Amino acid sequence: MSEPTPDEIDPIECAQLLILGGHYRQAEDVLLTARRDAVADSEEDARCANGLGVVYKYLGRYDDARRAYEQARAVIEPADPAGPMMATLLHNLAGLAHSRGQSADGEADARRAVELRVALVGADHEDVAADLANLGVLLEAQGKFEEARACFERAVAIFERVRGRAHPEVAFNLGNLAAIAEARGRYEESQLLYDEALALQRDLLGSGHPETMRTLNNLAYLYRVSGRRAEAVAAYRTVVATLEPQVSADHPVLRAARAQLDREAV
């Protein structure tokens, strides 16, 4: 079987791969081109708009992200208000609210996304696990730690059953559980969870992958708040040195690590 040509590659899938690698501006270019080629107000147009919303969220262009998501919603909601694309849009709108520091505003959308997804695929599907993790992040930000922990633990259980323990989503949610333990002052528990998440990500994604660096950046924060300044600085420097050659300067993890190093230098 011959390799697919660039014209045969789905632009949404291409953009998703670029986003995973932290190449947000290239993803934006792919999606803008695809959207120009799509029929206005079609499902393809809505998919591209949703993808652009994801890109703009990561770039910190929150108003543009909201606008793109709402453009997609205006197409999808009248046509299929309880379908998978609607669940995805609600998931993404909730995630945007969290990024803007408005987690309480996004909670209803996150809960609705879970409800829709359960109705569509059943309670034990990995897509439900992803929605539960998203809801957990919003709950954690509001200090609703017990419900957030339950969401993350349920997500881990689903992903582990479907994909096995050695899976990136398991690692991601172990990191979420670590953040809750950290917020409650359980630093040893948090360290163990971060260590397991990092070990999984290094094996599955590679030591230099942006998601691995995201977890290391979070672990560095744990070091800082628990008084281990030298370890924190070393970890932040590793994050910066690893990400600088491979992602754009506005990558959120790179920005966060640089900001922490600037604080430590004061």
Residue with tokens 């971060």: 194
CA angle 262, 225, 135 (to 5 degrees): 100
Answer whether residue 26 shows pLDDT above 90. yes
Q: Which residues constitute the domain of residue 262?
A: 164-266
pLDDT tier at 5 (50, 70, 90 boundaries)?
very low
Q: Please state the domain count of the chain.
A: 2
**DSSP character for 179?**
H
- Residue 252 belongs to domain with CATH number: 1.25.40.10
Interval 180-223: pLDDT, tens:
999 999 999 999 999 999 999 999 999 999 899 999 999 999 99
Domain assignment of residue 108, yes or no: no
Domain assignment of residue 59, yes or no: yes
Domain assignment of residue 113, yes or no: no
Domain assignment of residue 159, yes or no: no
What is the rounded average pLDDT of the residues 68-87? 97
Among the ranges given (5-19, 49-63, 146-160), the one the predictor scored with the smallest mean pLDDT: 5-19
Domain assignment of residue 85, yes or no: no
Provide the residue type at 256 as one letter: A
Answer whether residue 58 shows pLDDT above 90. no
Last residue of a domain, one of 79, 103, 123: 79
Give the closest residue to 133 by CA, choosing from 151, 112, 113: 151
Last residue of a domain, one of 79, 113, 133: 79
Provide the residue type at 156 as one letter: V
Phi, then psi, of 113 in degrees rounded to 5: -60, -45
Q: pLDDT averaged over the chain? A: 93
- Given a contact cutoff of 8 angstroms between Cβ atoms, the answer to whether 65 and 256 are in contact is no
Percentage of residues of the chain with pLDDT beyond 90: 84
pLDDT tier at 118 (50, 70, 90 boundaries)?
very high
Last residue of a domain, one of 31, 46, 79: 79
